[in-house]
């Protein structure tokens, strides 16, 4: 029997849902990817009254530990998309030099949850996005009513008209926060970037309704040699299409490929450019 040679490289992929980014996830899988998706409540069967939030990184920590146990010598690069980007940055900030990752890459991350919520409650954004996403969250709660009614008032939760109201009545209570504002502060990566210890590249668009431009932590990032923010005038939320009739790879896919190549093939150069000392390697 032939022995199976394990890959020498692993990539961690964080996505908001497995459906919305399926083509992008397939692109990742071409590069020895190890996808981790936040559990889609509309698809899975919830066994315990525990869901997920942007501030809780315990699941991600277990996934990284599992991968490092399987491939102890393989470098791991974290990729966070939207809410997954919040999870990744929060994870990197909390674990610091013990993250087990050589670098991080985020796409359309909401930097400040409170400012994002306010932007999403503007009339047009509420009509186009907020009410639809809130309805989806409420439908997921309804599907798992028997399990979740042990810890929250389901009827009150289902009356939510915005994502903020849903988080006030469900998410913040589920994870023990005194208020939704406390949860949003804890979930926001903008105030934790200074604790990160690996090279991080962030891609955001100025016209992203989920991550408003005025919330970009430009001053903080300018003071951090290990973090770079690439901001485009257009790109929306996880779009970044190129050309009048976009075909083929999007801008975010091309940028991702370049960053992965640099992180894996020129790690020492990147660490030196970021001012990261040898003992800080993850």
Catalytic residue numbers read 82, 208, 237
Measure the CA–CA gap between 205 and 49, rounded to whole angstroms.
36
Cα atoms in the 13 Å half-sphere on the side-chain side of 271:
16
Joined together, the tokens standing for residue 14 give 């964080």
**DSSP secondary structure code for residue 176 in this structure:** T
Measure the CA–CA gap between 95 and 93, rounded to whole angstroms.
6
Measure the CA–CA gap between 14 and 52, rounded to whole angstroms.
13
**DSSP secondary structure code for residue 256 in this structure:** H
**DSSP secondary structure code for residue 236 in this structure:** T
Q: What are phi and psi of 200, to 5 degrees?
A: -135, 130
């Amino acid at each position: 029997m032939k022995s199976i040679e394990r890959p020498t490289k692993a990539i961690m992929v964080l996505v908001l849902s497995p459906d919305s980014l399926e083509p992008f996830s397939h692109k990742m899988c071409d590069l020895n990817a190890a996808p981790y998706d936040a559990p889609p409540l509309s698809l899975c069967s919830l066994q315990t009254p525990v869901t997920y939030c942007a501030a809780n990184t315990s699941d991600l920590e277990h996934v990284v530990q599992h991968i490092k146990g399987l491939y102890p010598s393989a470098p791991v690069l974290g990729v966070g998309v939207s809410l997954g980007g919040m999870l990744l940055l929060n994870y990197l900030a909390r674990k610091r030099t013990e993250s087990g990752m050589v670098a991080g890459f985020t796409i359309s991350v909401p930097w400040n949850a409170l400012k994002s919520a306010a932007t999403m409650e503007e009339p047009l954004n509420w009509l186009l996005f907020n009410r639809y996403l809130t309805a989806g969250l409420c439908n997921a709660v309804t599907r798992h009513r028997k399990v979740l009614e042990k810890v929250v008032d389901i009827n009150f939760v289902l009356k939510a008209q915005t994502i903020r109201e849903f988080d006030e009545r469900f998410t913040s209570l589920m994870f023990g926060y005194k208020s939704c504002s406390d949860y949003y502060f804890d979930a926001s990566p903008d105030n934790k970037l200074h604790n990160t210890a690996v090279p991080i590249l962030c891609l955001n668009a100025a016209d992203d309704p989920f991550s408003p431009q005025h919330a970009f932590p430009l001053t903080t990032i300018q003071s951090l040699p290990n973090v770079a923010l690439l901001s485009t005038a257009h790109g929306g939320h996880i779009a970044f299409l190129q050309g009048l009739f976009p075909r083929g790879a999007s801008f975010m896919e091309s940028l991702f490929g370049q960053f992965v190549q640099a992180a894996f093939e020129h790690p020492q150069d990147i660490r030196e450019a970021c001012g990261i000392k040898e003992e800080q390697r993850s």
